[in-house]
Amino acid sequence: MGQLDQQTIPDLVQQAATRFGPSQALVDGDIDWSFDDLSSNVQQMARALIANGVEHGERVGIWAPNTWEWVVAALGVHEVGAVLVPINTRFKGKEASYVLNRANVKRLFTVTDFLDINYVDLLESTNDLNSLNQIIVMRGQTQSGTISMAEFLESSKQTEDGTYQKRRENVSGEDLCHIMFTSGTTGLPKGAMLTHAAVTRGYNDWADIVGLQAGDRYLIVNPFFHSFGLNAGILACLMKGVCILPHPVFDVAAVMDRVPIDKISMLPGPPAIYQTILNHPDLENFDMSTLRLAVTGAAVIPVEMIVQMREKLGFEKVVTGYGLTEGSGLATMCRHDDPPETIAKTSGRAMPGMEVQIVNEKGEEVPRGEPGEIVVRGYNIMKGYLDDPEQTTKAIDAQGWLHTGDIGIMDPEGNISITDRKKDMYINGGFNVYPAEVESLMLSHPDIGQVSVVGVQDPRMGEVGYAFVVPATGKQPDPKEIIEWCRKEMANYKCPRHIHFADTLPLNASGKVLKYELRETAKNLLGQS
């Protein structure tokens, strides 16, 4: 067993079985497994992967909602030293094939029946899959060129004990565990390369700060393909002996139903979740007494909401935090005993082993209370972007500081408040939306000559996209048709909800679009103050 700061994800699976063996580990429909059961199912998956020729360091994709199969496939991939490439379930075929090709993924675990979507059909429609040579269907009907997960697992019998053990023991803390794709201002997603040691150390600290303990029951509403759902969800549960309850589609009514039935004690999510629950007309008819821990962030939080979460929903601990995929999803956290004002208005202070500074354009630290760029340094920083040394050098400077592009202020206690979003990013229902990516997709529409997208406030989703479109010469596009086209071409959370046609876009002297002017125009058009 490696030292705590050099542990691997296979270590976590083994330790969980040793420490919490018969305790409940995973409940999903008919599946009700102990930590021993989970370990043996992960081992079966690992053996099947070996039997199918998966090599150490090979990239394996998962494109599916939160289910027990996702947990087993992911942990099995880690057991054999392969690298997990999670794919956003909201992606369309073109977006997913870009990630699969960029990461050179040879094998993909997916589903054919999620929300009436067949992911295999979406991929095949792109005719653009360079290296993919095996598709394993976890749920739904298999089709030509695919294999069912049950059939795939059958092949595990071909792998001998010694072969499996050797592969497992060959995984080191410095090996890559995930390549997580994050979009950015360049328009195309980049793969952040993360290591076993950073993820296991960081989320052990995360789980301690949050207060997770053996016997907690964790409704994982955050998608597994996201750093939070995978690392702060699946892995944190293994570390602390917590029961994983996957939740495939976020819906407040369904979550409220599950809390009393499944005796949920840990419920993370964006502020909108708790606000909706607090405002629910039938709240007093729901038994929320099992709720104990909440983790939120990624949006402005009213102080009163934190107070109400404690008083009306009974949460003992409410914690907020801030992190980036490039920093293993970690950077700062509040502590549960901070005052409600600190939890609501800041994202907390640096986690153990990490440094956070606010710097000016020369990279010099600014005085407390003054705005500047948030930079982060520590063991949690990614190895770099996959096959992209140029972008890596832009993101991480010679002193090892990750430049987040977020503007913030640090108070005397070291807590940071984020005052401006990463370049022009906005957050829709908890998902980061990068306008550059949306704009590059929209420009392929034949009626669009120029486009600029900004985020505007929305009471339900936090923020939504507002697209300013200059029509192509001689074209008169229809806003409804453009929105419908966007829904077919990109993940729903990226689709602009509002379209405004303009003759020109406001530009500065160097020809860049003045986004702040467009934000003001959008607010005025929507009647927002």
pLDDT tens by residue, 198-207: 999 999 999 9
For residue 509, the model assigns a pLDDT of 57
User: Residue ranges of the domains in the chain?
Assistant: 8-195, 250-420, 426-526
Q: What is the DSSP string of 271-313?
A: HHHHHHHHT-TTGGGS--TT--EEEEESS---HHHHHHHHHTS
- Residue 236: pLDDT over 50: yes
pLDDT at 431 over 90: no
List 297's β-bridge partners, or say none: 321
- Closest C-alpha to 506, from 496, 495, 515: 515
Q: What is the pLDDT of residue 72?
A: 98
Domain covering 426-526, topology: GMP Synthetase; Chain A, domain 3 (3.30.300)
CA gap 305, 370 in Å, rounded: 27
What's the first-to-final CA gap in the chain, in angstroms?
57
Give the integer Cα–Cα distance in Å for 512 and 450: 12
Eight-class DSSP state of 429 = T
Q: Is residue 94 a contact partner of residue 126, using CB atoms and an 8 Å limit?
A: yes
Per-residue confidence band for 294, with pLDDT thresholds at 50, 70 and 90 = very high
Tens of pLDDT, residue by residue over 33-69, are 999 999 999 999 999 999 999 999 999 999 999 999 9
Domain 250-420 has CATH 3.40.50.12780: yes
Distances (CA, A) of 303 to 43, 153, 275, 340, 343: 46, 50, 12, 6, 8
Whole-number Å distance between alpha carbons of 234 and 389: 31
Whether 8-195 shares its CATH topology with 250-420 is answered yes
| pLDDT of 432 | 82
pTM of the model: 0.86
Give mean pLDDT, residues 143-153: 96
Mean pLDDT of 437-446: 87
pLDDT of residue 344: 87
Is the pLDDT assigned to residue 235 strictly greater than 80?
yes
Q: What is the pLDDT of residue 3?
A: 53
State which CATH number among 3.60.150.10, 1.10.287.980, 3.30.420.270, 3.40.50.980 fits the domain covering 8-195: 3.40.50.980
* Mean confidence (pLDDT) of the chain: 92
